[in-house]
């Protein structure tokens, strides 16, 4: 699909990957609908995109609320009368041991945005794309949607759900001319880590050479519109850990437990 002149909804466009993706679509001449809760940030980005000679629409939406998602789709149709591309990007992680996560603010909230937000937004947009007999849906997954690591229980569950949802959907909607692509970035330098509340005793973190910028992920997202893919792991080197996890899960368990879980939980273990 060509991007110029197409109508694209980007959720979570107020920062990080979503912001960079919306900007990238703007550069390619798409009409961009920007959705998230922080409307001031969306307004600033909309002004920038409008200056590129295309149009941007701002819709304040909490993606955990069905009524906001319905409003997002209604306002998009009222302004542009069609929806060609949906980028389900909004999401966040709260990373801690399961027993430390708040049942509502951390657990329920992650599922509401990362899973229900993706499902309900897609559900609202789909009839429009089916009527058009064309569309491109790009779902922001994560390496955590393929390989689950300690402190990522809920986040990994949410991204595994996005993986399963997208796989089934892809096989449902292809006959209507609708493509569903999944992208699995590793670590990306964004506000994500600020919201994640990561506390580490060890030095465990994504090595710098594996870190991506939001712009790199955004460019990959736009490429997926031109050339849809079932799954795209970036950077590709993470594919090695997917392979190891699939074929040597015992080895991955032992390495993760001995190199991460036990050193991180040493003080708690000593108290027992």
Ligand X SMILES: NC(=O)c1ccc[n+]([C@@H]2O[C@H](COP(=O)([O-])OP(=O)(O)OC[C@H]3O[C@@H](n4cnc5c(N)ncnc54)[C@H](OP(=O)(O)O)[C@@H]3O)[C@@H](O)[C@H]2O)c1
Find the shortest distance in angstroms from Cβ 240 to ligand X.
17
**Residue closer to ligand X, measured from CB, 123 or 265:** 123
Among 3, 6, 8, 18, binds ligand X (CB under 6 A): 18
| DSSP bridge partners of 135 | 178
Taking residues 203 to 232 in sequence order and writing x for each that binds ligand X by CB under 6 A, - otherwise, the string is -----------x------------------
> Which of the following is catalytic: 25, 92, 152, 155?
155
Find the shortest distance in angstroms from Cβ 267 to ligand X.
27
Find the shortest distance in angstroms from Cβ 5 to ligand X.
25
- Tokens coding 99: 């027993």
Can 155 be counted among the known catalytic residues? yes
| DSSP bridge partners of 58 | 34
DSSP letters, 190-259, are STHHHHHT---SS-----GGG-EEHHHHHHHHHHHHHS--SEEEESGGGHHHHHHHHH-HHHHHHHHIII
Taking residues 158 to 197 in sequence order and writing x for each that binds ligand X by CB under 6 A, - otherwise, the string is ---------------------------x-xx-xxx--x--
CA geometry: angle 95, 98, 104, nearest 5 deg: 85
Find the shortest distance in angstroms from Cβ 17 to ligand X.
4
**Residue closer to ligand X, measured from CB, 111 or 130:** 111
- Tokens coding 5: 């002149």
CA distances from 203 to 81, 103, 179, 246 (A): 51, 28, 40, 26
**Residue closer to ligand X, measured from CB, 128 or 188:** 188
What distance in Å separates the CA atoms of residue 10 and residue 149, rounded to the nearest whole number? 28
Spatial CB neighbours of 175, under 8 Å, sequence gap ≥ 6: none
Sign of CA dihedral 154, 108, 42, 182: positive
Among 6, 9, 10, 15, binds ligand X (CB under 6 A): 15
Find the shortest distance in angstroms from Cβ 142 to ligand X.
4
**Residue closer to ligand X, measured from CB, 13 or 225:** 13
Site for ligand X in 49-108 (CB under 6 A): 61-64, 89-93
What distance in Å separates the CA atoms of residue 200 and residue 74, rounded to the nearest whole number? 44
The answer to whether the CB of 187 falls within 8 A of the CB of 210 is yes
* CA of residue 157 relative to chain centroid, distance: 13
Taking residues 131 to 160 in sequence order and writing x for each that binds ligand X by CB under 6 A, - otherwise, the string is ---------x-x------------------
Asked if 121 interacts with ligand X (CB under 6 A), we say: no
Asked if 113 interacts with ligand X (CB under 6 A), we say: yes
Contact set with ligand X (CB under 6 A):
12-18, 36-38, 61-64, 89-93, 113, 140, 142, 185, 187-188, 190-192, 195, 214
Catalytic residue annotation: 155
């Amino acid at each position: 699909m060509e991007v110029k002149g197409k109508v694209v909804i980007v959720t979570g466009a107020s920062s990080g990957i979503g912001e960079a993706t919306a900007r990238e679509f703007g550069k390619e001449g798409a009409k961009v609908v920007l959705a998230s809760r922080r409307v001031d940030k969306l307004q600033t980005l909309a002004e920038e995109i409008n200056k590129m000679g295309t149009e941007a629409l701002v819709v304040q939406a909490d993606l955990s609320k069905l009524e906001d998602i319905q409003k997002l789709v209604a306002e998009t149709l009222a302004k542009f009368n069609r929806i060609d591309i949906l980028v389900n990007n909004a999401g966040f992680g709260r990373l801690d041991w399961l027993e430390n996560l708040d049942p509502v603010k951390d657990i329920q909230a992650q599922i509401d945005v990362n899973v229900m937000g993706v499902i309900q937004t897609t559900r609202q947009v789909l009839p429009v794309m089916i009527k058009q007999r064309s569309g491109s849906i790009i779902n922001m997954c994560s390496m955590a949607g393929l390989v689950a690591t300690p402190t990522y229980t809920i986040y990994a569950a949410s991204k595994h759900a996005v993986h399963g949802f997208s796989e089934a959907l892809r096989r449902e909607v292809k006959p209507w001319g609708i493509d569903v692509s999944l992208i699995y970035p590793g670590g990306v330098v964004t506000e994500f880590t600020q919201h994640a509340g990561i506390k580490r005793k060890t030095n465990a973190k994504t090595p710098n050479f594996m870190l991506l910028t939001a712009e790199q992920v955004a460019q990959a997202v736009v490429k997926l519109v031109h050339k849809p893919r079932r799954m795209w792991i970036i950077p590709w080197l993470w594919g090695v850990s997917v392979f190891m996890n699939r074929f040597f899960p015992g080895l991955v368990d032992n390495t993760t437990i001995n190199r991460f879980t036990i050193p991180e939980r040493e003080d708690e273990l000593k108290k027992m």
